Structure 1
Amino acid sequence: MLFVSGINFGSSYFECVNVKDLPISCSGNMRHLIVEACIARNLLDTSAYCWPGYVNGRINQLPYSVPAQGPGWSSFMKGAPLTSVMINALVSSPASSLTEVEKIFEIAINGSEDEKISAATILCGASLIRGWNIQEYTVQFITRLLSPPVPADFAGSDSHLIDYAPMLNVLICGIASVDCVQIFSLHGLVPQLACSLMPICEVFGSCVPNVSWALPSREEISPHVVFSNAFALLLKLWRLIILLLNIELVMYPQLDPS
């Protein structure tokens, strides 16, 4: 329908199209399904869309909600800033390539405090849950962000992890669900994730409680909040590790239980 309507494919982002804005009489049948299957298998070309009577409805009625350039991964890779609308779009739709995820990871490393939090939020979104083609890299990037290196110019007496508290808390809360834990397990990163959480629990569990940090959402977090979230996630991981060990002992009884 959009093809016949003459929309410029180079300047429109179909992730922004709302189905409610399409013509009411736009519908399909088994014939449309068969033709689409043939086009997908290169048995027909897209000229089939121009067959007389193939497309129903008012083909000249363009969807009003299609902007010249909408928020999404395409516009982000072209240099669009991480506004709230852009962040929501990137969180809700998975990245399509490793290059896009790498750019988010670079922002999480070298960006401002707000940009680091935004990048962490994006990594824990659809790219982790539904990004099947880049999920392996996403879990690796998240694990690396949970163990940030000591800055070259760091001279404080406390742990350098304290300076990363807002981003660490976003990451921990973002992967705390059972589904995300299972994803890390599928990729074999549960031990690395547990090793990253242990120093976080140690540092923030013994941190002075009168320190706090403000998130872009205006929420304030304390060291004990970071500790509680990290420790709760660590307990989930240990339960999963114990379960996996028990399964291995059942399958391989000759293994040493210790």
Structure 2
Amino acid sequence: MNIKEIQQKLLDINDPSAPIFEQLKHDERKGVQSLLSKWYRQYEQKQKDHLSFIQKSQYEIKLWEGGIKRIAGVDEVGRGPLAGPVVAAAVILPQSFYYPGLDDSKKLTESKKEEMFDYINATAISVSVSIINHDVIDTVNIYEATKLAMKQAINGLDLTPEYLLIDAMKLSMGIEEESIIKGDSKSISIAAASIIAKVTRDRLMKEYATTYPHYAFERNMGYGTTEHLEGLKSVGPSPIHRRSFAPVKELIQ
């Protein structure tokens, strides 16, 4: 086989014990050895992703095995920025859900987050998003606004969840719940909610960037980067800046 034929054949093989590998190991062509090395690297990464996914499914597996089917993962994004909303998402995944590589949205590339966003929306039993704008944040404070966003996301689900897995927050909604520190790295349901919330908010901030171009929202998503702070000092706060947050507060006094 030529190099291209070998490359094509390797795409369909998932088992390192396949007979073709013994033959290819003795092929002295550099191109063949390069393809072999690449295949093994990808195989090892797939194995790591699979193991990680199983580990992150332990909360869900325990609940599913206990007869609880509707488990909602809940997470938010946008507590720290100086501008824009806080966004929360609630996601109920089916027991058949499988997506190796699913993780805390902060650890993923933008293209991977977009890909997972589409997959979660297509395969989840129910997905709900809540957006709490800057004016509410200024009125009730960011902690209360975050709780409000999470509760609204849960209430927006098509089905009432039997159990809540929440990232580092207690909600006391009359539904059994567990608050998990760094839950987006420990639970597939929370990780899925993290991705839905993050992609939703990032898209909003990119839209705001076209209306308010002085702050580079499309790059910093409202966080206080040097570029953002320079824009604030230059033209002052935009209508979506959080007036209760320093240094915005100081600029309007």
TM-score normalised to the size of structure 2? 0.26
More relative contact order, 1 or 2 (CA 8 Å, 6+ apart): 2
Higher Rg: 1
Structure number with the higher strand fraction is 2
TM-score normalised to the size of structure 1? 0.25
